């Protein structure tokens, strides 16, 4: 048995005496002291009592604000009344406190007097929690499969159980029992809304669904620029314009309330932009959002100006609900990477749209329907699929990085397509069984089953959505998941900056003269 480790205290690892500043000093003076003494923070004191802390992060925010360092007082940028720890606290407890709050530095106070400062780095050195000294000694598998790169309380996917959740609730159960706006609220606020909160939220988002005046005249040009319309391409351009027209600023320069407003604005306007672009590309005028319709019904209303059958509106909304979030998928990760640089919410959402447009991510539902069309008849399914897989083709709508069993979204959407008696559902079920069998025979051990995309197309086609709107419809609700992740990333950020192994010709090669 190893010896039980000695409990070490904060007093043993803190830096003392701490580097301090007065609230009346300028930010420039405090910053140069931090650089000189090579510390990441100064404790702001009134006599020997800590009244604030100014950290490197504050200086980054300050620098980005464009304010003048020699004319601004420390008291204006410090975090006032910082949490403190006592010198007798154990290193492990202090570490937990810092990690929980997202702090990097915390003042150490004994009987009201500042005696030192302890940093996350000090604690990690002794708490047998090793900091990453050099990232290149950690090899991540290709595609980062299974690598945990962040902590999140937005939701998660349990691939082996075939289960996924938003916050603490089963995503499928939410889609069965609640409306989409409730789930949107849940992801933004952390809890399901009360009746009053739900009403207030609807009021808040209603005006945000409207396309900004400055963007309206540009939309027709965007919709008609390409030879053939790719709505995801047009959408990312339009979202970028909305963020620009609305004056979105890097989140590092704005407070949490403004970040939330920016995120809400984009989530609300994306469905309207999608339908406006679609209609303009067809030579039709966009239709304004319908103030009284639910999320899915309004989406269909903006397609053709007709109030849909409630069952059909609900089916589309349920599809949108199942696709709001799904762990650290490629587009969510992309959004978080962009957000981690301090860029504006619009930049992060545009990146998410780009990632989602790829056929390996969100670009598959129309291809899954194309597959059904290409197979044509139940008898043709097996020979067609054997031939395709033997030629090394991927069967669209099957396989998943995380699910190694049935994708709960595909089971749910299969149920939705049965409920609305979608034309293709019986044929799709036959093809699904055949694909699973053929892949089990020809790709044994890979555990390939239908993913969300397979029945998504069946549902959307029955609800009257053209195939070119399938992936944009995925984006129409996934934007909520991206934004929840963006807000979470911004609330406790460190720039995401991994490394690559260089495998090219050995440097330095002499540069040939021009």
Ligand X SMILES: CC(C)(COP(=O)(O)OP(=O)(O)OC[C@H]1O[C@@H](n2cnc3c(N)ncnc32)[C@H](O)[C@@H]1OP(=O)(O)O)[C@@H](O)C(=O)NCCC(=O)NCCS
Whichever of 448 and 487 has its CB closer to ligand X, that residue is 448
Looking only at residues 362 through 391 of this chain, which bind ligand X when binding is defined by CB under 6 A?
364, 389
CB atoms within 10 A of CB 293: 17
232 binds ligand X (CB under 6 A): no
Please select the residue that binds ligand X; options are 286, 399, 408, 457, rule is CB under 6 A.
399
Q: How far is the CB of 321 from ligand X (least distance, A)?
A: 16
The token duo for 13 is 């690892």
CB of 166 to ligand X, least distance (A): 17
Give alpha helix (H) positions in 376-502: 378-390, 408-419, 425-442, 452-462, 470-491
Q: Are 26 and 71 in contact (CB under 8 A)?
A: yes
93 is catalytic: no
Count of residues interacting with ligand X (CB under 6 A): 19
Q: Which two tokens stand for residue 1?
A: 């048995």
Restricting to residues 111-170, name those near ligand X by CB under 6 A. 143
Closest distance of CB 393 from ligand X, Å: 7
Select from 395, 420, 459, 465 the one that contacts ligand X (CB under 6 A).
395
And the tokens for 407?
A: 């994708």
Query: Does the footprint of ligand X cover residue 352 (CB under 6 A)?
Result: no
**3-state DSSP call for residue 116?**
strand
Determine, following the binding rule CB under 6 A, whether residue 409 of this chain makes contact with ligand X: no
Stretch 453-482 residues interacting with ligand X (CB under 6 A): 453
Residues 6+ apart with CB under 8 A from 417: 424, 425, 428, 455, 458, 459, 462
Please answer whether residues 379 and 350 qualify as being in contact, where contact means their C-beta atoms are separated by less than 8 angstroms.
no
- Catalytic site residue from 246, 317, 432, 453: 453
Q: What is the DSSP string of 316-336?
A: HHHHHHHTS--SS-HHHHHHH
Q: Does 484 bind ligand X (CB under 6 A)?
A: no
Contact 278, 469 (CB under 8 A): yes
User: 84, 77, 82, 26: which is closest to 56 by C-alpha?
Assistant: 77
CB of 158 to ligand X, least distance (A): 16
Beta carbons within 8 Å of 55's beta carbon, 6+ residues apart? 40, 41, 79, 104, 105
Query: CB-wise, 272 or 329, nearer to ligand X?
Result: 329
Stretch that binds ligand X, among 33-41, 122-130, 235-243, 396-404 (CB under 6 A): 396-404
Q: Which is nearer to ligand X, 8 or 394 (CB)?
A: 394
Nearer to ligand X, 395 or 484 (CB): 395
Q: Does 357 bind ligand X (CB under 6 A)?
A: no
Q: Please report how close the Cβ of residue 331 comes to ligand X at its closest, in angstroms.
A: 11
Whole-angstrom distance, CA of residue 306 vs CA of residue 257: 36
My answer on whether omega of the bond before 508 falls inside 30° of 0, hence cis, is yes
Instruction: Respond yes or no: is residue 191 known to be catalytic.
Output: no
Determine which one of 165, 361, 400, 462 is catalytic. 400
CA separation for the pair 376, 458 (Å, rounded): 14
Q: Are 326 and 157 in contact (CB under 8 A)?
A: yes
User: Binding of ligand X at residue 398 (CB under 6 A)?
Assistant: yes
Among 57, 105, 400, 424, binds ligand X (CB under 6 A): 400
Query: Given the rule CB under 6 A, which residues bind ligand X?
Result: 143, 360, 364, 389, 394-401, 439, 443, 446, 448, 451-453
Name the residues annotated as catalytic. Answer: 400, 453
């Amino acid at each position: 048995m190893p010896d039980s480790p000695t409990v070490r205290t904060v007093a043993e690892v803190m830096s003392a005496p701490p580097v301090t500043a007065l609230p009346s000093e300028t930010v420039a003076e405090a910053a140069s002291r931090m650089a000189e003494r090579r510390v990441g923070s100064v404790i702001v004191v009134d006599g020997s009592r800590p009244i604030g802390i100014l950290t490197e992060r504050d200086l980054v925010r300050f620098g980005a604000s464009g304010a003048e360092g020699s004319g601004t007082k420390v008291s204006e940028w410090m975090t006032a009344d910082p949490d403190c720890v006592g010198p007798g606290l154990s290193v492990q407890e202090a570490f937990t406190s810092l990690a929980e709050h997202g702090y990097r530095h915390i003042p150490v106070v004994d009987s009201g007097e500042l005696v030192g400062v302890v940093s996350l780095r000090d604690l990690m050195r002794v708490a047998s929690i090793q900091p990453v000294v050099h990232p290149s000694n950690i090899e991540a598998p290709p595609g980062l499969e299974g690598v945990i790169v962040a902590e999140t309380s937005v939701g998660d996917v349990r691939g082996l159980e075939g289960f996924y959740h938003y916050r603490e609730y089963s995503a499928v159960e939410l889609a069965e029992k609640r409306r989409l706006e409730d789930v949107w609220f849940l992801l933004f606020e952390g809890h399901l809304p009360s009746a009053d909160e739900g009403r207030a939220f609807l009021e808040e988002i209603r005006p945000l669904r409207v396309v900004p005046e400055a963007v309206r005249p540009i939309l027709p040009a965007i919709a008609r620029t390409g030879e053939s319309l790719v709505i995801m391409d047009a959408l990312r351009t339009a979202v970028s314009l909305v963020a620009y027209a609305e004056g979105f600023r890097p989140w590092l320069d704005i407070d949490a309330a403004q970040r939330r407003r920016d995120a809400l604005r984009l989530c609300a306007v994306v469905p309207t932009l999608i339908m406006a672009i679609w209609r303009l590309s067809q030579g039709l005028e966009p239709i304004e959002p319908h103030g009284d319709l639910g999320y899915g019904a309004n989406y269909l209303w903006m397609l053709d100006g007709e109030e849909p059958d409630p069952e059909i509106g609900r089916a589309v909304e349920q599809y949108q609900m199942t696709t709001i979030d799904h762990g650290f998928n490629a587009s969510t990760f992309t959004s978080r990477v962009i957000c981690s640089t301090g860029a504006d919410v619009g930049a992060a959402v545009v990146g998410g749209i780009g990632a989602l447009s790829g056929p390996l991510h969100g670009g598959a539902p129309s291809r899954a329907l194309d597959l059904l069309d290409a197979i044509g008849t139940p008898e043709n399914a097996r020979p067609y699929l054997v031939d395709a897989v033997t030629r090394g083709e991927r069967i669209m709508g099957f396989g998943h990085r995380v699910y190694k069993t049935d994708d709960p979204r595909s089971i749910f959407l299969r149920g939705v397509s049965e409920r609305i008696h979608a034309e293709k559902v019986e044929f799709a079920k036959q093809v699904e069984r055949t694909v699973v069998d053929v892949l089990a025979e020809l790709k044994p051990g890979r555990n390939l089953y239908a993913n969300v995309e397979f029945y998504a197309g069946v549902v959307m086609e029955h609800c009257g959505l053209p195939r070119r709107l399938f992936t944009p419809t995925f984006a129409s609700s996934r934007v909520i998941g991206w934004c929840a992740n963006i807000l979470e990333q911004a609330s406790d950020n460190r720039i995401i900056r991994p490394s690559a192994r260089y495998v090219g010709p050995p440097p330095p090669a002499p540069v040939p003269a021009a």
